[in-house]
Amino acid sequence: MTDHVRDLRSVREATDRLLTAVAKLDNAALAEESHLPGWTRGHVLAHLARNADALVNVFEGRPMYESATARDADIERDAGRTLEEHLTDLRDSAARFMATTEPDQDWSRTVELRNGVTDLAANVPFRRWVEVDLHHVDLNIGYELSDLPDEFTEREVDFLADRWSGRPEVPPVALVETDGRRRHTGSAGDPAVTVSGPATGLLAWLAGRGDKGASLTTSGGPLPTLPPL
């Protein structure tokens, strides 16, 4: 069962790590490329702030974003701001998100995210943790997939394996961690391909990040190409 209280603590810790790391940058560094194609570090930070506000909307029963166009426009508008402006926005938006989680509420209720996706309210804190920690890696400032907490990595591999399950464009795949833990992803049926390696390597491939399979071994066929997240 998801422990949203524990996940909220992890969100706070991840946010503190992010803010501490970003505060060491300067304005010029924010204009440099992140690991995400087409996005500077400023774009990543703008997205993180706007995602916090979007999750406030989710908790309060409003659409997560006004529209995909508005979401993209807000990120583009905010990407070129100064370091101090980004830090203030990150702190303030994070505080707004945390404030929505403090009142008593039904954590078992279903909430709506982007593109008609629904989830339990109790799972939203983990989704925010994913945004903060994975995009911290995307900033390309020295925080790597290998630096992520072990709990985060295992849970995100579980989440992404489930996300790709049932997708007809992804062949049946058996995921085998170095410690022997097995998962299934992709379309139904007996796995055509077995992908083996460390949890961080599986995360990199499933999330389209990092080495994207360089640390993995495959049998039964080549490493499948996954659709964009």
Q: What is the mean pLDDT of the chain?
A: 95
Does position 211 have pLDDT exceeding 80, yes or no?
Answer: no
Helices (H), the chain: 4-22, 27-30, 41-59, 68-78, 83-100, 124-138, 150-164, 199-207
Q: In terms of DSSP bridges, do strands 118-120 and 182-185 run parallel, antiparallel, or are they unpaired?
A: unpaired
Three-state secondary-structure class, residue 71 = helix
Q: Which of 90, 98, 124, 92 is nearest to 18 (CA)?
A: 90
DSSP codes joined into one string, 146-210: GGS-HHHHHHHHHHHHHHHTT-TTS--EEEEETTS-EEEESSSSS-SEEEEE-HHHHHHHHHT-T
pLDDT above 70 covers what percent of the chain? 99
- C-alpha torsion sign, points 34, 71, 225, 170: positive
As a whole number of angstroms, the distance between CA 88 and CA 67 comes to 25
Tens-place pLDDT, residues 135-162:
999 999 999 999 999 999 999 999 999 9
Does position 228 have pLDDT exceeding 90, yes or no?
Answer: no
Beta bridge partners of 111: 119
As a whole number of angstroms, the distance between CA 190 and CA 70 comes to 42
Residue 214: the pLDDT is 82
Residues in the chain: 229
Does position 213 have pLDDT exceeding 90, yes or no?
Answer: no
Residue 33: the pLDDT is 97
For the residues 65-73, what does the mean pLDDT come to? 96
Which pTM was predicted? 0.94
- C-alpha torsion sign, points 125, 128, 134, 139: negative
Residue 212: the pLDDT is 66
What are the residues whose beta carbons fall under 8 Å from the beta carbon of 118, sequence distance 6 or more?
110, 111, 112
For the residues 76-91, what does the mean pLDDT come to? 98
For the residues 203-221, what does the mean pLDDT come to? 88
Residue 229's pLDDT band, with cuts at 50, 70 and 90, is: confident
For the residues 111-118, what does the mean pLDDT come to? 95
Does position 27 have pLDDT exceeding 90, yes or no?
Answer: yes
